[in-house]
Amino acid sequence: MTRRLSIDVPDDLFAAAHERAAAGGVSVAHLVRGLLAEALDLEHHSLFQVSTSGAIVEGVNDGCVSVADLRRHGDFGVGTFDGLDGELVMLDGRCYQARGDGRVAEAPDDALTPFAVVTRFQADRAVELRDIASVEALEAMLDRERTTDNLFLGIRATGTFARLTLRAACRTELGVPLVEATSHQEEWGLTGARGTLVGFWSPTYSRAVAVPGYHLHFVSDDAAQAGHVLGLTIDALHVELHELNDIHLALPESESFVHADLRRDPTADLDVAEHDHRPRASGAQRRWSCSRPVLTRR
């Protein structure tokens, strides 16, 4: 939500603002918003990210930033927890942990994340979308609403979902690559769930740092259901969009990150881990911890 603020300024300040804006190639409104936010110690249109997608792909999954620290930078976001112990969903400042055994709970302030993306969500505009038959259909509709391929976008969407397919990663030993770890994820279905999609769209050029394309999590209104979105069907969806042009990246100082080989392009692995539907893999179960399977919930 935005509001109009009108003020009278001296001629010299008016001229200086226009000169600074022209020199920076931005509008006067953009310049003033940034200066006002800086003066009030607020972060608007800013994205704060912990670690990189490439690091998570290569198994750098030991937590390095606390939930309390995340809240200092945003009230809305997605991520995971130490050892990929479930999905992180932050909405209206409340941070939820959705585990692979079906439990959803508010994460304590001292819980650690190895990868998360948060912002202070303020909708720049809202749209109503209808007759959405799949995640792919939703993404195509959102593509038409995006104004650029080069800025990040926060997405908050609410409605009652006819069908949802969710997943939550099972806790794994540290150092396990993402594709291997998510081959042991739990997937389940919901019908008639009322709640909110929380997520981001990231530009293709950010693939070594962010998750390129759409990355959506879900939390129900009663916070009893949550997870990473793999599939959906919904008749009507209220979507709020928040453009992000100021990126802050916090890199871990852990031994695992400092000595990791992050030269490989993570795009293919991210596509498998974030979008693929696979049956639960067999193998050495000591490396994963999901205490009970979750197949269907209503």
Q: Are residues 66 and 101 in the same domain?
A: yes
Q: Are residues 55 and 170 in the same domain?
A: yes
Q: Are residues 60 and 92 in the same domain?
A: yes
Quick check: is 271 in a domain? yes
Q: Are residues 73 and 213 in the same domain?
A: yes
Quick check: is 231 in a domain? yes
The owner of tokens 């209206």 is 92
**Residue 296 burial (CB count, 10 A):** 8
On the question of pLDDT at 183 being above 90, the answer is no
Give the CATH number for residue 88.
3.30.1330.80
Q: Are residues 94 and 173 in the same domain?
A: yes
Quick check: is 18 in a domain? yes
**Residue 61 burial (CB count, 10 A):** 30
Q: Are residues 37 and 69 in the same domain?
A: no
Higher-confidence position of 29 and 222:
222
pLDDT at 257: 96
| CA terminus-to-terminus distance, the chain | 33
Angle at 152 between CA 262 and CA 121, to 5 degrees: 120
On the question of pLDDT at 3 being above 50, the answer is yes
Rounded-to-integer distance, Cα 264 and Cα 127, Å: 38
Quick check: is 6 in a domain? no
Q: Are residues 212 and 265 in the same domain?
A: yes
Residue 286 is given by DSSP the state G
The whole domain housing 66 covers 46-289
What is the number of structural domains in the chain? Answer: 2
pLDDT at 22: 79
pLDDT at 281: 46
The pTM assigned to this predicted structure is 0.82
Quick: pLDDT tens for 188-223.
999 999 999 999 999 999 998 999 999 999 999 999
Is residue 184 very low, low, confident or very high in pLDDT (cuts 50, 70, 90)? confident
- The average confidence (pLDDT) of the chain is 88
Q: Are residues 186 and 270 in the same domain?
A: yes
Quick check: is 32 in a domain? yes
Quick check: is 26 in a domain? yes
Quick check: is 76 in a domain? yes
Rounded-to-integer distance, Cα 227 and Cα 78, Å: 10
Q: Are residues 22 and 92 in the same domain?
A: no
Quick check: is 296 in a domain? no
Q: Are residues 133 and 247 in the same domain?
A: yes
Rounded-to-integer distance, Cα 214 and Cα 154, Å: 10
Q: Are residues 127 and 156 in the same domain?
A: yes
Is residue 294 very low, low, confident or very high in pLDDT (cuts 50, 70, 90)? very low
